[in-house]
Structure 1
Amino acid sequence: MTSVNLTFLSIIIVTLVAGISWFLIRSFTKKRVSHRSLSTRTEKLPKSKPVTTQKTIREPLADSILSDIDTYSSNKNSFQEDIDSSCTLLLQIICQALSLTSAALLKADPAVKKVYLHTISTEKKDILDDCASRGIGIFSVLFQGHKDVKVCPVSQQVANIPYYTSNKGIGSLLATRIPDHTKTKTSNTPFWILSIDRSSDKEWTEDEQEFIRLAAGKISREIYIGNQLLQAARYTNVVSRLYKGIKRLNSVLELKETFDIAIDSVKELVDADFVAISLLQDTEHTIVRADGYQAEELEGCKYLHNDGLVGQAIHCNHWMPPTETYPDPAPVFSRNKLIPGFKSLLIVPLSQQGDKAIGALTIASQKTGIFSRDQRHIMELIAGQIAAKIELAQAHEKIYQMALTDGLTGLNNHRTFQLGLDNMIIRSRRQSSSLCLILCDIDHFKKINDSYGHPFGDKVLKKVAEILKLSIRQVDLAARYGGEEFALILEASDEEGGRIQAERVRTTIEELSFSSKGKKITITMSFGLASYPVDADNKAELIDRADQALYSAKESGRNRTVSWSELHK
């Protein structure tokens, strides 16, 4: 196969991913918002059935390409709908992850100063299907070359949001130009916009903006590949293997599963005896997953960012080694760690469309001549998909952790505490074991805040949280219950064990010393505890009795530990 042909092949495969992603992602999402897809057709369709869009990147595909991949799609219309559904369900995921009112994909035409609504996932009813007549409204700065527009708060006096009849009910909006990888662009070249809004008027956080940039990058890649489909051709044997690998890659959201499936997908495509994924982290590259020779020994190893062929591949954003000959043994990960026994080696940077590499994919074989020019091209394609999937999985994990943890202290939040206590009580009941709940409170914390300021108060909260986190076992749970109040759930522990733990923490806190404005400051904490099932046989009662014990500790002088049972002897 020629290099040009493989380029065509690559374009087909990545676009197949866009078409099938909607089905694979469905198992990870709940139907909370409605999905609307707009059409240029004039006939009315039943409201219960989404309208199939005709204004998408799949327009040029209909007859020139789809007939050439009938092995994988016997129904052209169904395949076209799948591509469109991929964008729709990506918008749904964005809505759910960020608790939005709407997420919309629009196409902007600078030549006529109009925007056209392509797809929207929304909770609102007042959507204008034909928003072009409304002008560019709030998106005007994007037509002037700006990459983003943020409006907080949105008011009725602000320029209109073109796809709504009015701005009513919208508190904040964030829109970004989707990156355009077209080589030849003019000031009148159409571009795509990803717009999100919500009822809250709070500012968009950096994490939320990064999440949207990643989503825009994913859409950008699909648009780019879609626009290249007219040049593609049919190579069913390789298509089948690539299709299978990327389909599996798009079936997961968790980072660990992404690593595992990426390794398996590579081994489906090439006769590899060793595969590893390395990620760049600050000044080091770390082997996060390996399979084959010395895999267990290598996983987790860290090397300087520019060390070995992997470091060079990441730094130069180019495959290594620079020639097809393999220098055995080679300094793959480090000059101090040679890996012998292989006759073919390829290290491909994990990057998308020339972006900065986030890591590298290392593949080695005991056979010679495995990595021809064509094979390298295929590996670069799969590496780009792996990079995109890793970044999306990292963003997903970050959003997930934000939902579980307290932003200030890093401890589990109140919601996680409630869920954790439910699960631990169920486990204790099943195993006929006990658990101890400790509620604790910083004494006179309001006075500390009033006297030394909230930044100092935050410093105290963080330090207390750090001590609580270090004091527990892996099976236990530490949480910020609210304000200056914290909670510890000790699994397989009775009242005596809970008291020992509480006293250990109490004395550690008592020995702490802070300083502010040249003054030495000490703090104390009060502790209340109750055990399951001796003091209470359900969650609500257990929390209430631990709270009563804490109240008694406060009332009887503070800086002490009180159990519910000693109050009711």
Structure 2
Amino acid sequence: MDALVLLGIVLLTSLPVSLYLYKLKNRMRDYNKSFNKLQTQAKELADNAPSFNDDTLMSRYLTDVLEVEDDILGLLRIAERAMVADAVSLFINEDSGLVCRLSSGRSGIVTTGDGLIYTVFRSGKTLLHYAESPGKDIRPGYLSDAEISTLLAVPVMELTTSLGVLCADSMRYRAFDQQDIGLMELVAREIAKILKRQRVYSQIQLSYRSLRILHEESAPLARSLELSALCERIVESAVRVSGGKVVLLLKKGRSYELFTKGAGYLNEKKVTSLKGTLLEMVHANRDPLYHPDVSGFRTRVLPFHFRGVKSVLALPLFHEAKVKGILTVFSEKKNAFNSMQINLLEILVNQASVSISNVLLHEEIKKMAFTDGLTGLFNHRHFKEKLTEEFRRSERFEDTLSLILTDIDHFKKVNDTYGHPVGDIVLKGVAGIISRTVRDIDIPARYGGEEFAILVVKTDAKGAKKIAERVRKNIKAHDFKVEGHLLKVTVSIGIASYPADVTSGDELVEKADQALYGAKKGGRDRTVLYGDLK
């Protein structure tokens, strides 16, 4: 008879648990459908998904715990009623140790750092513990406002890893027995499944969001065809991914141009050397480098000035197998960047390297179309385009504009005497002198044959003549080394200006050419202004 009664009690107490678990399994099927949908969306965003390790994902282990609190709390309350316990509580292991996540009958539970639940967590074994005698208290591992005479603690396990402890307590002496252990272990297994599914769901959400960021940031990089705009976009993308301060160093000649967002924390626009810094190591080894704390470094960390740097991540960018730049991400906090962010930045830098190579190739092709193959100056066609552009600008803003036309004296004699290869050397030498002599804002070009043109912006005839005379004198003083001999040449120069001499771009060329003819007629090796011919 007693056995039948006991069996009836067990069936009655197990029925609500079974019903709840049945509903829970249906809900988990819905979760699985959501997982599959998210995985499909993630795959559509990118074929090469970033690989995140378990350490990265564990940082988000219970970040979305509110979504499953109702499920777990429902299990705790059913167990409480079935066992006639004062409270059933779930303790989860976090960085600070065991923490009470949920409880069916208590609030504000504070763990003590030592006690029975810690023994269960470390051993991974179930423990049913009674007080030594009725009325005596036990040390459960957490503070309670009432005496605890019976405690049943079960580990919450995922494979061999202990996630936490499920604990039931009661003021009654010997309140629980062996049959209650089976119920608690069943509830602990279901809680472990919920936590695992939640972790997997968080993992898929994290991957999906990461891929979305990469998709949003990578697409504009692929479309950019202007180098400065591309570099600024790379910096903006890195800021979004990392949340830190970002500086892109792009190699130009022997120095590095600096790109950053806002520039409120950086005064320099370029650096001439990486020597003695962490970035020198990145450039030499051609590998990314991350230091979570550089505060103890005695050597200089960065080639530009920024105080209080703690975390530094540096990633090289490549063009034609050579280091073209270094993306530097840093923070005033230690351990500022996690492995997920580093993975994303590495993928972003790979895309950025491809985009930079595409832009440089585009600029090279454009340069070939705009420049003279021998001298490297703008060709005649592009010079005409720049003349039209600058003349319109001068008209609009009422600025002055001058044109210098230069012709190498007796150049046919050079070709006839020494041959065309020597003539090419002279042309290249003259072009180099012109480039080095004029201002950065001026526009030199090879006009045709042995003639060169220089658009001198925002300058009248008098100012243009000063520049032209420097060009003429520098060419005259230069020794061209040809087949063991020193060859010297001179140039004749004609100048016309807007608005003093002309009213159109074509007229500017025409009048400058007349002035050049006047210089030739006057004896060569001289500069003539069109205004002086009138």
Query: Structure 2-normalised TM-score?
Result: 0.56
TM-superposed CA distance for 1:16, in Å, is: 9.7
SS of residue paired to 1:480: strand
Q: Aligned in 2, Cα 1:448/1:363: closer, same or farther, shift over 3 Å?
A: same
Structure 1 residue aligned with 2:462, among 481, 492, 496?
496
Q: 1:404 — aligned with what?
A: 370
1:553 partnered with 2:524: no
AA aligned to 2:407 is D
Structure 2 residue aligned with 1:303, among 257, 273, 292?
273
AA aligned to 2:215 is Y
| 1:134-155 deviations in Å (ceiling 9; x for gaps) | xxxxxxxxxxxxxxxxxxxxxx
Q: Aligned in 2, Cα 1:432/1:312: closer, same or farther, shift over 3 Å?
A: closer
1:474 partnered with 2:440: yes
* CA distance in 1: counterparts of 2:507 and 2:321, whole angstroms: 55
Equivalence map 1:318-467=2 (5 Å): 318-321=287-290, 325-330=292-297, 334=301, 341-350=308-317, 357-467=323-433
Q: Aligned in 2, Cα 1:343/1:419: closer, same or farther, shift over 3 Å?
A: same
Q: Across the two proteins, how many residue pairs are aligned to each other?
A: 344
* CA distance in 1: counterparts of 2:318 and 2:45, whole angstroms: 17
Q: 1:258 — aligned with what?
A: 230
Q: Aligned in 2, Cα 1:9/1:393: closer, same or farther, shift over 3 Å?
A: farther
* CA distance in 2: counterparts of 1:373 and 1:8, whole angstroms: 24
1:278 partnered with 2:249: yes
Q: 1:268 — aligned with what?
A: 240
Equivalence map 1:121-270=2 (5 Å): 235-270=207-242
* CA distance in 2: counterparts of 1:549 and 1:454, whole angstroms: 28
Equivalence map 1:39-58=2 (5 Å): none
Structure 2 residue aligned with 1:316, among 285, 309, 330?
285
Q: Is the 8 A contact 1:318 1:348 kept in 2?
A: yes
Q: 1:530 — aligned with what?
A: 496
TM-superposed CA distance for 1:468, in Å, is: 2.0
* CA distance in 1: counterparts of 2:255 and 2:526, whole angstroms: 48
Q: Is the 8 A contact 2:271 2:304 kept in 1?
A: no
| 1:123-168 deviations in Å (ceiling 9; x for gaps) | xxxxxxxxxxxxxxxxxxxxxxxxxxxxxxxxxxxxxxxxxxxxxx
TM-superposed CA distance for 1:394, in Å, is: 1.8
Equivalence map 1:12-91=2 (5 Å): 13-14=45-46
TM-superposed CA distance for 1:444, in Å, is: 0.9
* CA distance in 2: counterparts of 1:295 and 1:382, whole angstroms: 23
TM-superposed CA distance for 1:533, in Å, is: 2.8
- Of all paired residues, the percent bearing the same amino acid is 35
AA aligned to 1:402 is M
* CA distance in 2: counterparts of 1:335 and 1:530, whole angstroms: 51
TM-superposed CA distance for 1:526, in Å, is: 1.3
SS of residue paired to 1:296: coil
SS of residue paired to 2:413: helix
1:289 partnered with 2:262: no
SS of residue paired to 2:344: helix
| 1:289-308 deviations in Å (ceiling 9; x for gaps) | 24589853454113347x43
TM-superposed CA distance for 1:541, in Å, is: 2.1
* CA distance in 1: counterparts of 2:255 and 2:463, whole angstroms: 43
TM-superposed CA distance for 1:15, in Å, is: 5.1
* CA distance in 1: counterparts of 2:213 and 2:279, whole angstroms: 26
Q: Choose between structure 1 and 2: higher helix proportion.
A: 2
Q: 2:507 — aligned with what?
A: 541
AA aligned to 1:346 is L
Max Rg structure: 2
Consecutive unaligned residues of structure 1, counting only runs of 5 or more, are 18-231
Q: 1:56 — aligned with what?
A: none
* CA distance in 2: counterparts of 1:543 and 1:510, whole angstroms: 25
* CA distance in 1: counterparts of 2:505 and 2:497, whole angstroms: 11
Q: Aligned in 2, Cα 1:535/1:454: closer, same or farther, shift over 3 Å?
A: same
Q: Aligned in 2, Cα 1:297/1:507: closer, same or farther, shift over 3 Å?
A: same
* CA distance in 2: counterparts of 1:454 and 1:299, whole angstroms: 44
Q: Is the 8 A contact 1:441 1:485 kept in 2?
A: yes
* CA distance in 2: counterparts of 1:372 and 1:534, whole angstroms: 66
Q: Aligned in 2, Cα 1:496/1:16: closer, same or farther, shift over 3 Å?
A: same
Q: Is the 8 A contact 1:278 1:285 kept in 2?
A: no
Q: Is the 8 A contact 1:510 1:524 kept in 2?
A: yes
Q: Aligned in 2, Cα 1:418/1:364: closer, same or farther, shift over 3 Å?
A: same
Q: Is the 8 A contact 2:236 2:261 kept in 1?
A: no
Q: Aligned in 2, Cα 1:332/1:257: closer, same or farther, shift over 3 Å?
A: farther
AA aligned to 1:536 is V
Q: Is the 8 A contact 1:275 1:362 kept in 2?
A: yes
* CA distance in 2: counterparts of 1:256 and 1:526, whole angstroms: 39
Deviating more after overlay: 430-439 vs 255-264: 430-439
Q: Aligned in 2, Cα 1:287/1:14: closer, same or farther, shift over 3 Å?
A: farther
Q: Taking CA–CA contacts closer than 8 Å with sequence separation of 6 or more, which of the two structures ends up with the larger relative contact order? A: 1
| 1:342-394 deviations in Å (ceiling 9; x for gaps) | 44332233359x96654432212234444333332222111111111122122
Q: Aligned in 2, Cα 1:12/1:303: closer, same or farther, shift over 3 Å?
A: farther
Q: Is the 8 A contact 1:343 1:367 kept in 2?
A: yes
SS of residue paired to 2:337: coil
SS of residue paired to 2:353: helix
Q: Is the 8 A contact 2:494 2:530 kept in 1?
A: yes
TM-superposed CA distance for 1:485, in Å, is: 0.2
| 1:234-280 deviations in Å (ceiling 9; x for gaps) | 743223322222233234211111111111111111221x2122346
SS of residue paired to 2:270: coil
Q: Is the 8 A contact 2:429 2:480 kept in 1?
A: no
The CA RMSD over aligned residues, in Å, is 3.7
